[in-house]
């Protein structure tokens, strides 16, 4: 099948079958692009998540753009991005047309409450996978950074942008320090 069509349909399916935003798409993205299609490795996908989180926009859209660009350059990035947003655009347009009529319906209210629970579980599942692959079993400086960022974020409410910059500098420093130590 044509790579562009395959990318569009794959990302359209991901975009159309996941509810709850970008984080809810992450487990499905992993299954589709790493396990089934082998378009990138798990490590690459984790890097795309990280970069996608740090750049403006929705993480799943950013990740789709990165994967599409890796597979087929700028046109691939555009096709993957259009694929992942197309179903949402259609669904949101339809819902917006009718939501005002049904927003106060108890069935709709309960349905959305159920969806929020499922999305929370999907996000938690992704967090646990990311924790296992990026923190557990890594060098001690990674564990220290994790603990410091967790405390700074939850206890002191430090800006996530500042935390990303500090973590980037921390990672560069320790990465270069360790590499320098390996050279000796």
pLDDT category of residue 182 using cuts at 50, 70 and 90: low
Distance in angstroms (rounded) separating the CA atoms of residues 30 and 172: 26
Distance in angstroms (rounded) separating the CA atoms of residues 89 and 85: 6
The whole-angstrom distance between residue 156's C-alpha and the CA centroid of its chain comes to 25
Q: For the chain, how many structural domains are there in total?
A: 2
**Whether residue 98 has pLDDT greater than 90:** no
Same domain, residue pair 106 and 172: no
pLDDT category of residue 112 using cuts at 50, 70 and 90: confident
Same domain, residue pair 7 and 50: yes
Distance in angstroms (rounded) separating the CA atoms of residues 22 and 164: 19
Same domain, residue pair 29 and 107: yes
What confidence score (pLDDT) does residue 1 get? 63
Same domain, residue pair 36 and 21: yes
Same domain, residue pair 130 and 141: no
| Greatest CA separation for the chain | 70
Same domain, residue pair 116 and 175: no
pLDDT category of residue 28 using cuts at 50, 70 and 90: confident
Distance in angstroms (rounded) separating the CA atoms of residues 65 and 43: 17
What are all long-range contacts of 175-179, with beta carbons under 8 Å and residues at least 24 apart?
A: 178/139
pLDDT category of residue 20 using cuts at 50, 70 and 90: low
pLDDT tens per residue, range 61-83: 899 999 999 999 999 999 999 99
Task: Give the mean pLDDT of 30-57.
Answer: 89
Same domain, residue pair 31 and 52: yes
Q: Which residues contact 33 (CB under 8 A, 6 or more apart)?
A: 10, 39, 40, 45, 67
Q: Exposed, middle or buried, 84 (CB in 10 Å: 0-12/13-18/19+)? A: buried
Ranked by mean pLDDT, the top range of 16-30, 113-127, 167-181 is: 113-127
Same domain, residue pair 126 and 47: yes
Same domain, residue pair 130 and 146: no
**Whether residue 183 has pLDDT greater than 60:** no
Its pTM stands at 0.65
Structural domain boundaries enclosing 47? 3-134
Same domain, residue pair 129 and 148: no
Same domain, residue pair 141 and 169: yes
What confidence score (pLDDT) does residue 173 get? 87
What confidence score (pLDDT) does residue 91 get? 86
**Whether residue 184 has pLDDT greater than 60:** no
Same domain, residue pair 44 and 124: yes
Least confident of 16-30, 74-88, 161-175: 16-30
């Amino acid at each position: 099948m044509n790579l562009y069509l395959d990318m569009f349909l794959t990302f359209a399916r991901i975009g159309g079958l996941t509810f709850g935003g970008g984080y809810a798409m992450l487990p499905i993205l992993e299954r589709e692009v790493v396990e089934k299609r082998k378009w990138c490795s798990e490590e690459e996908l984790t890097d795309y998540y990280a970069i996608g989180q740090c750049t403006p926009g929705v993480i799943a859209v950013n990740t789709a753009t990165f994967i599409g660009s890796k597979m087929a350059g700028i046109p691939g990035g555009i096709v993957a991005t259009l694929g992942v947003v197309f179903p949402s655009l259609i669904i949101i347009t339809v819902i917006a047309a009718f939501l005002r009529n049904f927003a106060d319906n108890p069935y709709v209210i309960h349905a959305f409450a159920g969806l929020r629970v499922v999305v929370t579980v999907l996000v938690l599942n992704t967090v646990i996978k990311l924790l296992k692959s990026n923190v557990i079993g890594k060098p001690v400086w990674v564990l220290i950074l994790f603990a410091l960022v967790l405390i700074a974020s939850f206890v002191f409410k430090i800006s996530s942008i500042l935390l990303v910059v500090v973590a980037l500098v921390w990672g560069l420093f320790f990465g270069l320090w360790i590499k320098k130590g390996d050279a000796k």
